[in-house]
Structure 1
Amino acid sequence: MNALTWLNGEAFTLFDQRVIRSDMIGNLLGLAALALGWRRSIWTWPVQLVSGLVLIGAYASAHLSGGVGKQLLVIVVALWGWRQWVGGERTARDGGIAVRFATWRERGLLLGGAAVGTLAVGGLFTAFPELSWNPWPDAYIFVGTLVAMVAQARGLVEFWFAWLLVDLVGVPLAFNSGLAFSGLVYVFYLALVLWGAYDWWQRSRAARPALEGALS
């Protein structure tokens, strides 16, 4: 038995659905990565990378090409985000990444990129049905994940809200696709997203007077 066969084997049954090991392990790693992101730890990126590698097997077994593509994207952006956070220029006094709210220009670019990207990817999935049996939700999650990770790499508080919007579609899609553990973990993602958004928001407010004082 090779590693991929073992990963895609059944771990247990949840809500009358079989839970495969790759779905379970990959999502637990993803949950850990999100918690590390809340803590502003650089370890969030390598953990996200490994999570993406494992989840490729889970989505491939469910024939969700959009999910596979999303995880490939997660791996690439995790490498880029890791490099962004390694630089000392964004480091806060407590050793974590410095965070802030996006400017209106940055928000416009993120929203515009999300809209155009979803239309483009959704159109691609619709034109080639073999890529996805559920093209528009897949496209939404695919592009939303990219937007969230880019915002995270930039240390923007808005990254949490992007993840929240992705989860609102990801939860029902995961359950409907037979990935019950993914759906369950997304519920915990929601709690972490709300907690993380509040924490980063507070930190961004605390950092603003210090920055203004340094510039004055």
Structure 2
Amino acid sequence: MIGNLLGLAGLALGWRRSVWSWPVQLLSGVVLAGAYLSGHLPGLVGKQLIVIVTAIWGWSRWQRGIRDTGAIAVRFASWKERALLVGATALLTVAAALIFTQFPWMSWSPWSDAYIFVGTLAAMVAQARGWVEFWFAWIAVDLVGVPLAFNSGYTFSGLTYSIYFVLVLLGLRAWWLRSRAPRNASTAPNLQGAPA
């Protein structure tokens, strides 16, 4: 419960373009990895390890952005960047599913777990780069993750992911509008990493 609530807070902070989104996501990953380890769910532990590593990288990128421009700039990815993100996500999903299939102890649902696992990574990479597409990646993950959580008996996680979905829609709107704002508004001083 604590790990999921921290994840929810991390997403809300991401919506607000706060650099604190990353350490909160990192802490969420640590708590959830511990919970899944105690529940003998190695596939979910692996997912949280990816979340932890990506959160450290994202934190570093956003801190550098604040240092360089005073704000977290957001924009739509270029067509080339989108193609790379979608292509890499598809290839890594197939690779992860094949690994999960070969090692059944890692996952009870190889394809959906691979989809969620890699989709989470894609969303965090897009967030770290300040791409509006980050929110679309989360929508795609939630469309599979919410029903899977409920069907697997993780009711609290399912409810949390349902709240994530609402935050994702609000965050998408906020980042979309921010990306369309005049350039000088998006680079106004914002030294705390909070919204300008």
Higher alpha-carbon deviation: 82-91 or 194-203? 82-91
Alpha-carbon distance in 2 for matches of 1:168, 1:29: 21
Question: Which protein is bigger by CA-based radius of gyration?
Answer: 1
- Are the equivalent residues in 2 in contact too, given 1:42–1:85 (CA < 8 A)? yes
- Are the equivalent residues in 2 in contact too, given 1:140–1:166 (CA < 8 A)? yes
Alpha-carbon distance in 2 for matches of 1:151, 1:32: 18
Matched, 1:112 2:68: no
> TM-score by structure 1 length?
0.81
Superposed, 1:54-133 pairs within 5 Å as 54-88=31-65, 96-133=71-108
Report the CA distance between 1:181 and its aligned residue.
Answer: 0.8
Report the CA distance between 1:180 and its aligned residue.
Answer: 1.2
Matched, 1:137 2:80: no
Report the CA distance between 1:112 and its aligned residue.
Answer: 0.2
Q: Which amino acid aligns with 2:58?
A: G
Matched, 1:173 2:129: no
- Are the equivalent residues in 2 in contact too, given 1:39–1:96 (CA < 8 A)? no
- CA RMSD between the two structures: 1.9
Structure 2 residue aligned with 1:49, among 10, 26, 46? 26
Residue 189 of structure 2 corresponds to: none
Residue 17 of structure 2 corresponds to: 40
Closer, same or farther: CA 129–200 of 1 in aligned 2, 3 Å:
same
Structure 2 residue aligned with 1:158, among 133, 140, 145? 133
Higher alpha-carbon deviation: 177-186 or 46-55? 177-186
Alpha-carbon distance in 2 for matches of 1:58, 1:172: 21
Give 3-state SS (helix, strand or coil) of 1:87's partner. Answer: helix
Deviations 1:46-92 (A, max 9, x none): 00000001111333355443321111000000000000001146876
Report the CA distance between 1:106 and its aligned residue.
Answer: 0.4
Residue 160 of structure 2 corresponds to: 185
Alpha-carbon distance in 2 for matches of 1:182, 1:203: 30
Alpha-carbon distance in 2 for matches of 1:158, 1:91: 23
Give 3-state SS (helix, strand or coil) of 2:17's partner. Answer: coil
Higher alpha-carbon deviation: 189-198 or 53-62? 53-62
Give 3-state SS (helix, strand or coil) of 2:130's partner. Answer: coil
Unaligned runs of 5+ in 2: 187-196
Unaligned runs of 5+ in 1: 1-23, 212-216
Identical positions, percent: 69
Greater relative CO, 1 or 2 (CA 8 Å, sep 6+): 2
Alpha-carbon distance in 2 for matches of 1:88, 1:193: 23
Alpha-carbon distance in 2 for matches of 1:210, 1:96: 10
Alpha-carbon distance in 1 for matches of 2:51, 2:129: 15
- Are the equivalent residues in 1 in contact too, given 2:127–2:134 (CA < 8 A)? yes
Matched, 1:203 2:145: no
Report the CA distance between 1:153 and its aligned residue.
Answer: 0.2
Report the CA distance between 1:38 and its aligned residue.
Answer: 0.4
> TM-score by structure 2 length?
0.89
